[in-house]
Amino acid sequence: MPRRRSLEGLVLAVLSVAASLTFASLAAAVTVDLVPSKDNTLIETPVGNSNGAGDGIYVGRVGSFGGGTKRRGLLAFDLSSIPAGSTVNAVTLSLAMVQSNDLSARIVTLHRLSADWGEAGSLGSGSGGLAQPGDATWLFRFFNTLTWTTAGGDFAAGPSASQSVAGIGPYAWTGAGLVADVQSWVDNPASNFGWLMKDDETTTTTARKYYSREGFTPPKLTIDYTPASTDVPTGPRAEAVSFAAPWPTPSSGRVNLSYTLPRAAHVSLLIHDAMGRVVRRLVAGVTEPAGAHATVWDGRTDSGTRAAPGVYLASLIVDQATHQRRIPLLR
């Protein structure tokens, strides 16, 4: 008998650790794909050309016919869909390069912008069109009222990410620098001015076109993040709800669950497995009165089959507040 209890204890410990890691990873598995909220091209010309409404972002230097002038891309993304307090885990910026006179490999870098800028109705190709009020140009952040501190954009000298670009096709920028940028923007949205994109500017005829948000394949920012913890308890009036520890635990089949409501509320009580799937609905979205409530999970799924051994999660959802308890189940 002691050996059996010892073995059960070891199994329970392993299952608990595995479940903890799994539930943590479930909380982290939130990914969003965003298209730019605005993009533009800075065109090195004193006449104020821009390309706010064009289908391309141009980066690099044009040939001698165009005077060897520079092109720099601007991109910004609205991060308001990411909840405040979230932890950013990974960031990838994907763009499609669709035109170039030089297909040799060169490093293209992303630099964090330190000032806001605009996108308006200017339209053109790599040479751009006449800037419209509010467009970003080589000299102006917002044509023709606010200038850059430095012509060509105000940005961090060190790159946040770099990528070797050669032939026409899709490319992706990723890494710790982008994670740091996005995290800082989530924490302080007022500092979110996006990135400036640079190609090799030491020689001419390096300019390349990438699709803009108006293009056939818009840029895409993929962000993996962990929302701020919503473990026991969270949400409005969560502090007033009592969700007792399940008993007995560990259980071989029947588990008693009880909770107390301070006032009438909309209630659901669900059992999740370690993959986050709902295996049993004990209370399915009903309005319950204030006071003490109790129910029993018999260790079975909604289909009536016996739940496999493992660690399960009881989720008590009261209005918009979630309370959770772990249930080790042994057979």
Give whole-number Cα distances, 227 to 67, 85, 106, 146, in Å.
Answer: 49, 7, 37, 37
- Whole-number pLDDT of residue 238: 44
- Whole-number pLDDT of residue 165: 97
Domain architecture of the chain: domains with CATH: 30-226 (no CATH), 230-329 (2.60.40.4070)
- Whole-number pLDDT of residue 22: 46
Residue labelled with tokens 């000298």: 157
3-state SS of 65-88 is: HHCCCEEEEEEECCCCCCCCCCEE
Give the whole-angstrom CA distance, residue 38 versus residue 76: 6
- Whole-number pLDDT of residue 102: 87
Torsion of CA 129, 133, 137, 141, to 10 degrees: -170
Residue labelled with tokens 């300019």: 207
**Residues in Cβ contact with 130 at an 8 Å cutoff, skipping those fewer than 6 apart:** 47, 48, 49, 50, 122
3-state SS of 95-124 is: EEEEEECCCCCEEEEEEEECCCCCCCCCCC
- Whole-number pLDDT of residue 12: 44
- Whole-number pLDDT of residue 16: 45
- Whole-number pLDDT of residue 117: 98
Q: pLDDT tens digits for 197-243?
A: 999 899 999 999 999 999 999 999 999 888 765 444 444 444 578 99
- Whole-number pLDDT of residue 46: 80
Q: pLDDT tens digits for 85-95?
A: 888 999 999 99
CB 42 within 8 A of CB 138: yes
Residues of the chain predicted below pLDDT 50:
1-29, 230-238
- Whole-number pLDDT of residue 273: 85
- Whole-number pLDDT of residue 18: 46
- Whole-number pLDDT of residue 330: 83
**Residues in Cβ contact with 152 at an 8 Å cutoff, skipping those fewer than 6 apart:** 42, 44, 70, 72, 138
- Whole-number pLDDT of residue 120: 96
- Whole-number pLDDT of residue 13: 45
Give the whole-angstrom CA distance, residue 326 versus residue 18: 12
CB 60 within 8 A of CB 195: no
